[in-house]
Amino acid sequence: MASGLPGSLDRVRHSATLAVVVAVLAVHNVAGNLLAPDWGYLPLNLAVGGLLVVLVLRSGVSWRQIAGPRSTMRRGVLVGVALGLAAATAIWAGAAVEGMSDVFADDRVLGVGTVGLLYHTLIRIPLGTALFEEVAFRGVLPAAGRRITTPFGANVMSAALFGLWHVIPSTSVAAGNEAASGFATGAVIAGAVLATAVAGLAFSWLRDRFGLAAPVLLHALVNSAAFAVAWSAA
């Protein structure tokens, strides 16, 4: 009976760490989207991402468990860039098809000048969105989750939370995208949550096979390409 106690205590401790990570993300999601000024997006995301990493490192998770072994770094960079460029090309090609431009239109890019375009596509999106979200949802959360469940279970949990992470942002997409205007807001939000959850599972597979660099670069290139297409159509 006593021999099982340390394992039980470890499970409680690991579960508590995971709960704290989820709570930090939940508070940041609401505060960052509804309360924080736009200029705070990048520093806040980087600060919260750093906090999450420190939390799980202090709980006993290693950096390798978060990012993958260093031996995968080079392959991860190559795979991430290759997939990202292919996806970005597909986005640009799709936007050029007649009648498809509305899919990529986004009122949030209105008033963004050339300097703003460069800032968003080269700094804000790669660091504030892609790096932060991949570290949080493909690095920290699965690493913490795998201490109390299977690797696949941790990936599914992380993907589901990644989908829910997009509930608030998808409301602005529903309001600012002409292609989405014909659908109920709830349907747009549900579609966004499902799509991002599925994408989260795919990104988790990439991370497990090629390390964290692969999904970070793919995520950054896809989002930056989508922003640039929306900007060019505005």
pLDDT tier for residue 110 given thresholds of 50, 70 and 90: confident
Stronger pLDDT, 58 or 99, i.e. the higher one: 58
Stronger pLDDT, 147 or 102, i.e. the higher one: 147
Centre a 10 Å sphere on the Cβ of residue 85 and count the other Cβ atoms it contains.
14
Report percent pLDDT > 90 for the chain.
74
Q: For 140-170, write each residue's pLDDT tens digit.
A: 999 999 999 999 999 999 999 999 999 998 8
Structure tokens at 160: 């589901």
Helix (H) or strand (E) holding 134: helix 132-134
Confidence check: pLDDT of 15 > 60? yes
Residue 30 to residue 173: CA distance in whole angstroms: 16
Confidence check: pLDDT of 31 > 60? yes
Structure tokens at 138: 């493909």
**What is the arithmetic mean of pLDDT over 46-68?**
96
Which residues contact residue 191 at a Cβ distance below 8 angstroms, ignoring those fewer than 6 apart?
183
The one-letter amino acid at 4: G
pLDDT of residue 99: 65
Stronger pLDDT, 27 or 98, i.e. the higher one: 27
Structure tokens at 147: 């201490």
Residue 217 to residue 79: CA distance in whole angstroms: 9
pTM score, whole prediction: 0.91
pLDDT tier for residue 2 given thresholds of 50, 70 and 90: very low
Residue 204 to residue 143: CA distance in whole angstroms: 11
pLDDT tier for residue 6 given thresholds of 50, 70 and 90: low
pLDDT of residue 8: 83
